[in-house]
A and B are shown apart, each in its own frame.
Chain A
């Protein structure tokens, strides 16, 4: 097969996924938009009634809103891992899946960013976090981990959006060149007049590598900063040095699971089976095993330190977390995050899409439980028995939580049908490399 034929085939296979969507697609989008609308209504209700309609109070001041924030930031991380870190290590199987993973990153950070604002209550005071001259002469306290978080997450959103868009430019140009009418105009604007000229490629290649090099330490720093929201406090269960690497590992674990969960149906729906193959899923499942082992080690280290240190606060807290009223959630988290991924030690499980789908869904559930257990239990059961309490989310919090999932899936579905979900240019390079030994991107 000639080089040109190979390129034409890749072009055709990816671009056919952008054929006009069916009525069923728009009905699904409408359904997700309706659920999101319910969330907006619940939030509006909270805005008018006050934070009393949420279940948070004393002693649990951080409820599912913060759980959702940490969960969605975590989901975002593996997108950058797949697009930047695996790119720098020249991992070939990333090519077919990194675009979807990057889109997931951007949408997950957008979702995550909503929750600190929802949790604020009086959302208009968010302006106080921006260092601008003001009549009160109040300035942000940059010594607080919460302000580090504002800087880190907003940086992460900006960088991951730019990285996502940068990768898309040549592919949007390919869509533009096959489109007509209004679609051609819109894709023409989005492609920034890209012409595939050498003069553009030589700068593009350098910029792409620079972005990958910058995004790699960023992804590690952002979840470390998120973990410091907890670890910089003195609460039992939170005040531990293992949190930054443990949070980074957890983020990658949950994000990988979400990529698998999204890609299995998308691949079938967009007829991308020839580009996104079982080999790609196998690579992700192997990484899931690796991250599952790191998670198991982290949980074990936490429990061991609590027991062997002799710190009675840590000790009683650890025992309560595992065997108290929230114990089933703790053991559910251990099962989903540590036991389930071990199934993928077996090749038959790694190459079976049903097992992969069930396994990745369970890891998603496990990671949500982990965020819940981690955030709720420490504030519910700290030093003084007289200050102990409990927490259960209200219907308002649950509605907003479900709406966040609808919002995320709606954005992802809109992306999958309107922008190339597989990187056309890099797939061409990879296809050529497979047949002619080409040297690949960058």
Chain B
């Protein structure tokens, strides 16, 4: 795969970075990333190449696994210690529902956390050099990867949508 250049634009509002991202999408650009100090507005998702998340699928799957694990743990351990206790038969589903419920929540949350770590690529490492610390304070960023020769047009687009600063790096630049 050919090496790509990158244009980095810095903005001071969510609206302008969203408008710039929307314009990129309309032009058919597919490789760009928005950086924001706050959670994006719902409308931002329409301006991005990818939207939605599989995290909820994993929450549901974790919950279903949890109820099976919780009930299974109760049934198996009571079968292994097959005595009537508290006047209840060894396998009593009513009290096991409590454990099943708690395990549903527990495993749903563990699956949610694990899927977030996986999909958001959370690793205990330093951010890459292109990350600007101002993105966690008061600046929005739009980083666009492009083929050779497209950098100038993209930089112009970012400026026209209110970018305060634009840095271009062509493929092969240090």
- Using a CB–CB cutoff of 8 Å, the interface residues on chain A facing chain B are 2-5, 7-8, 11, 131, 137-144, 147-148, 151-152, 155, 158-159, 162-163, 166, 169-170, 173-174, 176-178, 188-190, 192-207, 210-211, 214-215, 217-218, 221, 225, 425, 428-429, 432, 438-439, 441-442
Give the segment of B1-9, B79-87, B149-157, B166-174 that binds chain A.
B79-87
Bound Cα distance from A188 to B112, whole angstroms: 22
Q: Which 7 A-B pairs have the closest CB atoms?
A: A177-B133, A192-B122, A4-B12, A139-B77, A8-B138, A7-B138, A200-B120
Question: Nearest chain-B residue to A198 (Cβ)?
Answer: B34
Give 13 CB contacts A-B under 8 Å.
Answer: A141-B78, A141-B86, A148-B98, A193-B122, A193-B127, A197-B35, A200-B122, A202-B50, A206-B53, A207-B59, A207-B112, A211-B112, A215-B109
A11 and B137 contact, Cβ closer than 8 Å, known pairs A139-B80, A142-B77, A425-B39:
yes
Residues of B within 8 A of A174 (CB): 37, 136-137
Among B52, B86, B109, the residue within 8 A (CB) of A143 is: B86
Query: Most A CB atoms within 10 A — which of B40, B45, B133?
Result: B133
A193 and B96 contact, Cβ closer than 8 Å, known pairs A141-B85, A174-B136, A178-B133:
no
Q: Is the CB of B135 within 8 A of A425?
A: no
Q: Is the CB of A194 within 8 A of B122?
A: yes
Residues of A within 8 A of B124 (CB): 188-190, 192-193
Query: Most B CB atoms within 10 A — which of A2, A162, A192, A210?
Result: A210
Q: Is the CB of A199 within 8 A of B109?
A: no
Among B41, B74, B138, the residue within 8 A (CB) of A142 is: B74
Bound Cα distance from A211 to B135, whole angstroms: 25
Residues of A within 8 A of B52 (CB): 202
CB distance from B139 to the nearest CB of A (A): 7
Bound Cα distance from A438 to B103, whole angstroms: 37
Q: Which residues of B in the span 114-144 have a Cβ within 8 Å of any Cβ on A?
A: 115-117, 119-128, 131, 133-139
Among A140, A207, A215, the residue within 8 A (CB) of B116 is: A207
Bound Cα distance from A438 to B14, whole angstroms: 10
B165 on the A face (CB < 8 A): no
Among B56, B92, B116, B139, the residue within 8 A (CB) of A4 is: B139
Bound Cα distance from A132 to B49, whole angstroms: 48
CB distance from A21 to the nearest CB of B (A): 23
Interface string of B32-59 (1 = CB under 8 A from A): 0111111111101100101111011001
B88 on the A face (CB < 8 A): yes
Bound Cα distance from A178 to B134, whole angstroms: 9
Q: Is the CB of B40 within 8 A of A198?
A: yes
B148 on the A face (CB < 8 A): no
Residues of B within 8 A of A198 (CB): 33-36, 40, 44, 48
A442 and B39 contact, Cβ closer than 8 Å, known pairs A142-B74, A203-B55:
yes
Bound Cα distance from A137 to B42, whole angstroms: 55
Bound Cα distance from A143 to B117, whole angstroms: 36
Residues of B within 8 A of A189 (CB): 124
- Using a CB–CB cutoff of 8 Å, the interface residues on chain B facing chain A are 12-14, 33-42, 44-45, 48, 50-53, 55-56, 59, 63, 70, 73-74, 77-78, 80-81, 85-86, 88, 92, 95-96, 98-99, 101-103, 105-106, 108-110, 112-113, 115-117, 119-128, 131, 133-139
Bound Cα distance from A166 to B39, whole angstroms: 14
Interface of A is mostly: helix
Residues of B within 8 A of A196 (CB): 35-37, 135-136
Q: Is the CB of B55 within 8 A of A195?
A: no
Q: Is the CB of B127 within 8 A of A2?
A: no
Bound Cα distance from A162 to B34, whole angstroms: 26
Q: Is the CB of B110 within 8 A of A158?
A: yes
CB distance from A129 to the nearest CB of B (A): 11
Q: Is the CB of B105 within 8 A of A217?
A: yes
Bound Cα distance from A207 to B39, whole angstroms: 13
Query: Most B CB atoms within 10 A — which of A143, A170, A176, A217?
Result: A143
Among A152, A163, A202, the residue within 8 A (CB) of B53 is: A202
CB distance from B43 to the nearest CB of A (A): 9
A197 and B78 contact, Cβ closer than 8 Å, known pairs A203-B119, A207-B55, A207-B116:
no
Question: Nearest chain-B residue to A15 (Cβ)?
Answer: B137
CB distance from B7 to the nearest CB of A (A): 16
Q: Is the CB of B106 within 8 A of A7?
A: no
Residues of B within 8 A of A7 (CB): 37-38, 137-138
Q: Is the CB of A142 within 8 A of B78?
A: yes
Bound Cα distance from A385 to B74, whole angstroms: 39
Q: Is the CB of B126 within 8 A of A193?
A: yes
Bound Cα distance from A144 to B52, whole angstroms: 43
Question: Nearest chain-A residue to B109 (Cβ)?
Answer: A159
Question: Nearest chain-A residue to B137 (Cβ)?
Answer: A11
Q: Is the CB of A202 within 8 A of B51?
A: yes
Residues of A within 8 A of B96 (CB): 142-143
Residues of B within 8 A of A142 (CB): 73-74, 77-78, 95-96, 99
Among B34, B98, B112, the residue within 8 A (CB) of A210 is: B112
CB distance from B29 to the nearest CB of A (A): 14
CB distance from A156 to the nearest CB of B (A): 8
Bound Cα distance from A210 to B55, whole angstroms: 8
Q: Is the CB of B73 within 8 A of A131?
A: yes
Among B101, B108, B110, B120, the residue within 8 A (CB) of A204 is: B120
Question: Nearest chain-A residue to B60 (Cβ)?
Answer: A210
Bound Cα distance from A207 to B38, whole angstroms: 16
CB distance from A196 to the nearest CB of B (A): 5
Residues of B within 8 A of A131 (CB): 73, 77
Bound Cα distance from A193 to B44, whole angstroms: 23
